[in-house]
Amino acid sequence: MGSRPGSVGPPEHNWPVRELVTGARRIVVKVGSSSLTTASGGIDEQRVDALVDVLGGLAADGREVVLVSSGAIAAGLAPLSLRRRPRDLATQQAAASVGQGLLIGRYAAGFARHGLQVGQVLLTADDVTRRSHYRNAYRTLRKLLDLGALPIVNENDTVATDEIRFGDNDRLAALVAALVQADLLVLLSDVDALYTGNPSDPLSRKISYVGDETDLEGINITAPGKSKIGTGGMVTKVEAARIATGFGIPVVLTAAPLAGGALSGDDVGTLFQPAGSRPTARLFWLAHATAPRGRLHLDPGAVTAVVARRKSLLPAGITAVDGSFAAGDPVDLIDAGSGAPVARGLVNYDAVELPALLGRTTGELAATLGPGYEREVVHRDDLVLL
Ligand SMILES: Nc1ncnc2c1ncn2[C@@H]1O[C@H](COP(=O)(O)OP(=O)(O)O)[C@@H](O)[C@H]1O
Ligand SMILES: N[C@@H](CCC(=O)OP(=O)(O)O)C(=O)O
């Protein structure tokens, strides 16, 4: 890559942030397809074994480790004589079905050398977004850890459809980190850190520390090239870091071969500082893990009331409704002027009930329709700003 300008780091040299890494007891490690498989499609056994050795070392040190591993689709390509990552879902699912078994087999053999059992946990988006399901997922992961087994999580690609799938595992890893209340999320990729621009551009600088959102301003994240076997790219990793740090979990982003050093506290990769306060689990899930079932469009007064004054949303400030949802479902609140989502909340009415209520005051609605219609459309306790 040639010489490049100096890296962008924390303001003070002795910033103790690396202790967030070395002191972490429960760690979620996510590894991307590009770090586990060969360009021609198949498992890169040496790289899998190198990762297993690092994670086995952590477990031997008494840390709880959850591995979120991509690579099922890529690992299934060569065995099925597929020459590149298929575009159609059915072939991707078939490749994942073959590749997942091979991948987990390789992990099981590798971790056995460290005296560790692995537990395969395949999740769909629903499993980590719906309250009843994510409690279930949590129980399984917790039990595996209690039994001394190392959970290996992937998206359940063989049943996930285009509409519901995560596609990349970065966001899934951030949600799993929140689910198990991890002390640290490590995102391993084929690039050693986040850069200010495309890492192959010599003018791009390495970013060693992200303190908050302002440190991400001006960063140019380019899509991975066509030859890539991963799907998420850097955009989904930064998004995953936002989700995890927003839940109070520090994140280290680095290359898989640097994982051992990063976990020992070496100043490698990019460290994302966690937010000071942790939102309630319920609101965190509402913001990051729910799929909105509809959209309520707000006039300027309602946007100010909800965003600036943190008030409940009343029917008078809603100009339009779309989607088909039932009372209790998550919906996005849209600034009708800009079209941007400003908040997400749990709605108190069914979609079919709302059109007759729009623009009317709660007093007027209660007088004509009965006291049941005095209720807010979205109560402020069920609202989270986006
Ligand atoms: N600003 C940036 N900093 C670092 N990497 C970047 C940036 N913009 C784009 N990338 C690309 O993102 C790629 C990582 O994404 P991806 O291939 O999906 O990884 P994985 O398979 O590990 O999930 C890197 O190889 C890099 O080329
Ligand atoms: N669940 C998929 C992950 C897809 C993928 O490529 O993700 P990633 O490499 O994390 O960008 C698989 O195992 O192939």
Give the per-residue pLDDT at 227: 41
Residue with the larger pLDDT of the pair 37 and 161: 37
Q: Considering the chain, what percentage of its residues have pLDDT values greater than 90?
A: 65
Please indicate whether residue 269, judged by its CB atom, sits closer than 6 Å to ligand 1: no
Q: In this predicted model, what pLDDT tens digit does every residue of 336-349 receive, in sequence order?
A: 999 999 999 999 99
161 annotated as ligand-binding: no
How far is the centre of ligand 1, averaged over its atoms, from the C-alpha of 190 (Å)?
A: 7
Q: Which of 8, 37, 67, 191 to mutate to test ligand 1, by most ligand atoms within 8 A of the CB atom?
A: 191
Is 252's pLDDT higher than 90? Answer: yes
140 annotated as ligand-binding: no
Cα diameter, the chain: 74
Residue with the larger pLDDT of the pair 382 and 121: 121
Is 366's pLDDT higher than 90? Answer: no
Tell me the average pLDDT across 119-142: 84
Q: Which of 67, 97, 168, 235 to mutate to test ligand 2, by most ligand atoms within 8 A of the CB atom?
A: 168
Q: In this predicted model, what pLDDT tens digit does every residue of 210-236 receive, in sequence order?
A: 998 899 988 888 765 444 555 557 889
The pTM score is: 0.84
Tell me the average pLDDT across 250-256: 96
ipTM of predicted assembly, 2 dp: 0.94
Ordered by where they begin, the domains of the chain are 16-284 (3.40.1160.10), 292-385 (2.30.130.10)
Residue with the larger pLDDT of the pair 243 and 164: 243
Please indicate whether residue 37, judged by its CB atom, sits closer than 6 Å to ligand 2: no
Give the per-residue pLDDT at 85: 85
Please indicate whether residue 41, judged by its CB atom, sits closer than 6 Å to ligand 1: no
363 annotated as ligand-binding: no
Q: In this predicted model, what pLDDT tens digit does every residue of 316-338 receive, in sequence order?
A: 999 999 999 999 889 999 999 99
Q: Considering the chain, what percentage of its residues have pLDDT values greater than 70?
A: 91
Is residue 338 within 8 Å of residue 329, measured between CB atoms?
no
Three-state secondary structure string covering 279-307: CCHHHHHHHHCCCCCEEEEECHHHHHHHH
Tokens standing for residue 3:
């010489």
Q: In this predicted model, what pLDDT tens digit does every residue of 62-81 receive, in sequence order?
A: 999 999 999 999 999 999 99
DSSP assignment of 63-120, as one string?
-EEEEEE--HHHHHHGGGT--S--SSHHHHHHHHHHHHHHHHHHHHHHHHTTT--EEE
Give the per-residue pLDDT at 118: 98
> pLDDT category, 4, cuts 50, 70, 90?
low
Q: Say what angle helices 170-179 and 281-288 make with each other, to 10 degrees.
A: 170
Residue with the larger pLDDT of the pair 87 and 244: 244
